[in-house]
Structure 1
Amino acid sequence: MWLGTKSYWKINSTSLRLSADGSRNPEDSYKLVYLTFFLMGIGSLLPWNFFITAKQYWLYKLSNSTDQNKHSGLGDYFESYLSIASAVPSVLCLILSFFLVNRLSPKVRILSSLVVMLLVFVVTTVLVKVDVSEYRMEFFAGTLVSVAVVSGASNIFCGSMFGISGYFPMRISQAFISGQAMGGTLTVLASIVTLAVSEDVTTNALSYFLIADVFILLCIISFLLLPNYAYSRHYMAAATCVSPGTLNEERSPTGGVPPLQPIIKKAGVLGLCVFYVFFVSISVFPSVSSGIQSMNTDSGSPWATTYFVPLTSFLLYNVADFSGRQVTAWVQTPGPTSRVLPVLVLCRSVMVPLLMFCNYQPRNHLHTVLFPHDVYPVVFNCLLGLSNGYLGTLPMIYGPKVVPRELAEATGVVMSFFLTLGLAVGSAFSVLIVHNI
């Protein structure tokens, strides 16, 4: 039986500060481990964020125009295609990651994933200055393949990082999850800066993707430095029942598949909460939210024509998402067994019709616009981001803490699987939403 949310976390956090022999655990000097996991959180969703935020670049490549009023079949549904190409291989790779938990070390899984992500982004960067006007379908197909590969790799990376964060105190898991939201915010800021600096869409995209290349390289270097910190060595050594300093050791080749039944029994409801939170979010972001145009586009002002979508759809959502995740560092309520948590998660369903009835364009079937003012998408995107950040983070950090310690890493992968499955199903649903509008 749970002792109550506050009592549980108080006891849990106290036990984490003391090792088995009663001695105090090492301190996280200068918060280097916290910052490393925060940085890894940024890197875990960086590829996805950079792909979906470069809307003007993809529109230009697929239609040879940056005019959002000149629509093509590929351009109208591109965000939904990206979502599907990203989510489906991600689910498969997370299943693979679960089977590899006891067979490959976190070092192998994480570094190999980062290298694959870096290689794909280098190729994407090179293609920015290549004329593909005669090969748009081939470019479109190649882009989706790139998204599939990089998303699969990033989800193995994400699942593995979140899995090992389960061995650390809860604030380390929270750092990783907050970093994911910050990755989206930094991506949008980079996009806005490049838009402001240059009017040439390919020059913007080149600068944009080069930032991603450098950042993934920083993630590789930071992870290689992680075993040098006494704080991380202590928790990883305790988790793997080996002597300190063996963070990079291979797991036993005879290690079997982690038992799934006790994980589902303890964390199944939390996993379903994660699934539904991200299902709702990806159903409307970015496929619907990025299609909502300002009511003042005829004015020709930069706000209405250039910055409205980057600011209202991407920046506000990501800042709100980051804020919601940060709140969980101080407030963890409802608790892991509370019935209020699933109810709040289900209440987010209202966000889908709210955004559908904003000024999304073009409208071929659903002609009614119930929320015509520009303030509506601002408010709705903030609510979508805040609720996604808070209600998505709570079950993610609860999951590895409600199972036995030896199942923490496997539970982290399972929770990531529920998250990615929500993204996959929500991506397919987003296509239906866009089609019906």
Structure 2
Amino acid sequence: MASTEQGNMDDQYHRHHNLEIQLENASLGEKLRDVRYVTFLLIGIALLWPWNTFLSASLYFQHDVFHDDTIYAKIYISTMMSISTLSSVGFNFWLSKRQHSYATRVTRGLTWEVLVFGLLSVFVLVHKLFPPWLNFAFLMLMVLASSCGTAMTQNGAMALANVFGPQFSQSIMMGQGIAGVLPSLVLFCVSYIGDPRDQSVGGIFAYFCTTVMVSILCIVLYRFSAIGSADKSEVLMEDPACNRETDAVAFSTLFSKLKYLVLSIFTTFVVTLLFPVFAANTFVVRLSMNNAQYIPFIFTIWNLGDLYGRAISEKAFFQSSNFTPLRTFIYSLARIGLVPLFFCFNLNDRLKTSSTVLSDLGYIVLQFIFGVTNGNILSISFMKVSPQLSSDKERKAAGGFTNIFLSSGLAFGSLLSYAFVYIVRTCMTAKA
């Protein structure tokens, strides 16, 4: 019996092994000719795109919808972040306990995003007809639905990626990195044109419609790729004789095999959520740009570093057996050492009269390194999940399991960021 079970596990492990080996040694151009790789890449973009859309439209909602000085404008961002992170944690936990129907979750979650941003596109045109409280309630409901849709898509996509192999996990990570760079680059360019709050209704409408189109394109490509057909393939076929509840992979089993990887994911997100605190409060010293241009520039630099970190994660050094999950966890802990360095730079203009352009350049390098390490650790962690597990059943279950630590890291990091806002302001006031 044991030998039969081991044989089944070996068959599952080698099912996509040849495809994984081909991609592992392929150039980026060759990977982009593989429709499955491109599908996972686009799914990665679609996972982060809705969140970036909400963030990028924050100034529009505060300025045009809630008119800056109202209570709704003041609490919009904090409420949006709280609802998004907490609902993501709860929904990811709920999904991870239901270890079935992974393939359909991808399109179901993307369909939710189409509906959410389709409604938001209409909202932009008609919001003046409704009172502020109703507009605020509607937007928070859309944030909640979008967060749950993203969690659903990510749960299914990571389950599939774990089955197909580390290269496909890395493809999702690359897609998320691309989705991070594009909005920050746009905001940086806009900062040279005018006040980013002065966004036209047509521009915001087009922005939301673009999110709808990205999700629809993702659904179409998923349906017509090998990943879409996996709904009926033996890779994801359920045994009618099994009981989904009693045959579920226990969290204790997954944690025993993945503890260092999921702890790396959690730690990385907790530390990374401190980045916006420093990015928004560290100002230019001598470079020929104002703060309204410098801050979006820093966000762009960080996101470029993040994308680069994800791209190099497939290198042999990081994927070798010597770079163990434990070393990945130590790497994530060592990254905490970068945080005190942010206090050495121009927080709240305290170095304005005493520093040179080297202060700006040093800060830019630090933010780039902070971004590189973020993308690198996350990609390494997700890529190493599949090889640590012994069956496709465990690999699929690990998709939801890792997402619990991802969303928990984001939630805990967002709460910790409030403490760092207080620390930054207190330290700067004391030194002043």
- How does the TM-score come out when normalised to structure 1? 0.77
Question: What letter matches 2:252 in structure 1?
Answer: Q
Q: How far off its partner does 1:324 sit?
A: 0.3
Counterpart of 2:276? 286
Q: CA–CA distance in 1 between the matches of 2:371 and 2:283?
A: 19
Distance change (3 Å), C-alpha of 1:429 and 1:334? farther
Structure 2 partner of 1:60: 63
Q: CA contact under 8 A between 1:43 and 1:216: conserved in structure 2?
A: no
1:272 is matched with: 263
* From 90, 102, 106, the counterpart of 2:103: 106
Deviation by residue 1:81-116 (Cα, 9 ceiling, x = unmatched): 4432221100111112112332x3422x22222222
Q: Identify which of 346, 352, 375 aligns with 2:333.
A: 346
The equivalences for 1:101-140 within 5 A come to 101-102=99-100, 104-107=101-104, 109-128=105-124, 139-140=135-136
Give the Å deviation of 1:330.
Answer: 2.2
Counterpart Cα distance in 1 of 2:360 and 2:210: 36
Partner of 2:173: 177
8 Å Cα contact 1:46-1:212 kept in structure 2:
no
Instruction: Give the helix-richer structure, 1 or 2.
Output: 2
1:325 equivalent to 2:310? Answer yes
Q: Which runs of 5+ in 2 are unaligned?
A: 1-12, 21-29, 426-432
Structure 1 residue aligned with 2:244, among 243, 252, 255?
255
Q: CA offsets, 1:329-376, max 9 Å, x none? A: 22425756353322221111133333355444499xxxxx99994334
C-alpha distance in 1 between matches for 2:329 and 2:140: 34
From 365, 384, 394, the equivalent of 1:398 is 384
CA contact (8 A) 2:53 2:207 kept: no
Q: Distance in 2 between matches of 1:97 and 1:64?
A: 38
Look up the match of 1:68. none
Could you say what secondary structure the match of 1:166 adopts? helix
Counterpart mapping for 1:9-408 below 5 A: 16-17=17-18, 30-54=33-57, 56-61=59-64, 64=67, 79-102=77-100, 104-107=101-104, 109-128=105-124, 139-140=135-136, 142-193=138-189, 201-203=197-199, 206-208=202-204, 210-230=206-226, 233=229, 237-241=233-237, 254-256=243-245, 257-282=248-273, 284-295=274-285, 303-312=289-298, 314-331=299-316, 332-333=318-319, 335=321, 337-356=324-343, 358-361=345-348, 373-404=359-390, 405-408=392-395
Structure 1 residues 227 and 113: CA distance shift in structure 2, 3 A: closer
CA distance in structure 2 between the partners assigned to 1:82 and 1:380 by the alignment: 29
Taking a change above 3 Å as real, the CA distance of residues 206 and 389 of structure 1, as seen in their structure-2 partners, is: farther
Tell me the distance in 2 between the aligned counterparts of 1:208 and 1:253.
49
Q: Which residue of 2 aligns with 1:421?
A: 408
Give me the whole-angstrom Cα distance separating, in 2, the residues matched to 1:204 and 1:377: 34
Q: Which amino acid aligns with 1:40?
A: I
1:18/1:294 Cα in 2 relative to 1: closer, same or farther (>3 Å)? closer
Q: Do 1:290 and 1:309's aligned partners in 2 also have CA atoms closer than 8 Å?
A: yes
Structure 1 contact 80–431 (Cα < 8 Å) conserved: no
Assess, with a 3 A threshold, how the Cα gap between structure 1 residues 264 and 322 changes in structure 2: closer, same or farther.
Answer: same
| Greater mean deviation of Cα atoms: 29-38 or 160-169 | 29-38
**1:36-90 deviations in whole A, cap 9, x for unaligned?**
110110000111122223454355248746xxxxx99877776554432221100
Distance 1:397 1:385 in 2: 18
State how far apart, in whole Å, the 2-side matches of 1:375 and 1:82 are: 33
- Displacement of 1:411 after TM fit? 0.5
Could you say what secondary structure the match of 1:339 adopts?
Answer: helix
Q: Is the 8 A contact 1:111 1:220 kept in 2?
A: no
1:283-318 deviation line (CA, Å, top 9, x unaligned): x23244233333469xxx7x3143222111x21111
Task: Give me the identity figure in percent.
Answer: 21
* Contact 1:178 1:326 (8 Å CA) reproduced: yes
Counterpart CA distance in 2 for 1:428 and 1:370 is 32
- Residues 292 and 359 in structure 1, CA contact (< 8 A), matched pair in contact too: yes
| Distance change >3 Å, CA 355–CA 262, structure 1 → 2 | same
Q: Shift of residue 253 of structure 1?
A: 9.1
Residue type of the partner of 1:50?
T
Q: 1:419 to 1:339 in 2, by over 3 A?
A: same
Return 5+ residue gaps in structure 1 as ranges.
1-11, 20-26, 66-70, 243-249, 364-368
User: Does structure 1 retain, via aligned residues, the 8 Å contact 2:268–2:374?
Assistant: yes
- Partner residue, 2:397: 410
CA distance, structure 2, for counterparts of residue 353 and residue 400 of structure 1: 35
More deviation in 351-360 or 183-192?
351-360
Give the 3-state SS of the residue equivalent to 1:101 in structure 2: coil
CA distance in 2, matches of 1:167, 1:235: 13
1:106 maps to a residue whose letter is A
Provide the C-alpha distance between the structure 2 equivalents of 1:356 and 1:75, rounded to a whole number of angstroms: 29
The code of the aligned residue for 1:91 comes to V
Contact 2:60–2:198 (8 Å) recurs in 1: yes
* Secondary structure of the corresponding residue to residue 240 of structure 1: coil
| CA distance in structure 1 between the aligned counterparts of 2:96 and 2:130, rounded to whole angstroms | 42
Structure 1 residues 401 and 132: CA distance shift in structure 2, 3 A: farther
Shift of 1:153: 1.6
Aligned residue-pair number: 394
After TM superposition, the structure 1 stretch with the greater mean CA deviation from structure 2, 87-96 or 233-242, is: 233-242
Cα distance change on mapping 1:16 and 1:234 into 2, 3 Å: farther
Counterpart of 1:3? none
Question: CA offsets, 1:138-158, max 9 Å, x none?
Answer: 655544443233122212211
TM-fit CA distance, 1:263:
0.9
User: 2:262·2:381 contact (CA, 8 Å) conserved in 1?
Assistant: yes
- 3-state DSSP class of the match of 1:239? coil
Residue 4 (structure 1) aligns with: none
